[in-house]
Amino acid sequence: MKKLTFSIVTSAPEKTSQNELVLSMPTWLDEIKACEKRKGAITRAAPNYLRAIAEEIARRHDRRLNAYRHIIPSNYTGLDIATDEATAEVVHKMFKDTYPAIYPAYVESSIKNRNYNVDHIWWVGSEDMRQVFLDAGAEEIKPAQAGSIKKVEEIIESKVEEAPEVVEEKPKNKQKKKKDSAE
């Protein structure tokens, strides 16, 4: 496995290879859909529903998060959650205000749980997450360098394939005869 590298960009690259991963700030939509049964028919935020979403996020990304100690869902009671996107906005606001450590934890868990073949991560977002990548042992590559490094690797691989075979010559066996010094 190659060393993990990352690049911080403002927009996702159009094409990526199989050994690249694009990460961005979480939308929490998967976690919201997982808690859909807890929502029922309500269209306004309720503390138990928001806490259930926080527990699901904690289960997937940050075991240190305790939804009963770190989150104060009563501050967001009554906000509109008619759609999943509106719910995601409320959840983002709730985490931003009460537990902002979830965002580095999300990035850390995404790095740890990536596919084994992924050796480059494109981070689409702010540079605040740079330290999380560095702590995970990743090496930063500037976006302009990322493309040139791939070109250099391709050139090296093609030169290795085109290189002539090296024939090893056996060294000539030159042994000096020892003269008897006793004569």
Residue 160 structure tokens: 């290795």
The answer to whether residues 52 and 86 touch, using CB atoms and an 8 Å cutoff, is no
Measured CA to CA in angstroms, residue 127 lies from 69, 112, 133, 142, 182 at distances of: 29, 19, 10, 12, 81
Q: What is the mean pLDDT of residues 48-73?
A: 94
Residue 99 structure tokens: 């537990």
Give the amino acid at 101.
A
**Predicted pLDDT of residue 160:** 47
Share of the chain above pLDDT 70, in %: 78
CA distance 109 to 121: 13
What's the distance, CA 70 to chain centroid?
25
Helix (H, G, I), strand (E, B) or coil at 82: coil
**Predicted pLDDT of residue 159:** 46
**Predicted pLDDT of residue 143:** 75
Q: How many CA within 13 A on the CB side of residue 114?
A: 26
Q: Is the model's pLDDT at 109 over the cut of 60?
A: yes
Residues 116-137 have pLDDT tens digits of 889 999 999 888 899 999 999 9
Q: What is the pTM of this model?
A: 0.73
Share of the chain above pLDDT 90, in %: 59
DSSP letter at 9 equals E
Q: Give the pLDDT band (50/70/90) at residue 152.
A: very low
81 contacts: CB under 8 Å, gap ≥ 6:
39, 42, 43, 44, 45, 49, 87, 90
Q: Give the pLDDT band (50/70/90) at residue 155.
A: very low
Q: What is the mean pLDDT of residues 43-60?
A: 94
Q: Is the model's pLDDT at 17 over the cut of 50?
A: yes
Q: What is the mean pLDDT of residues 83-102?
A: 95
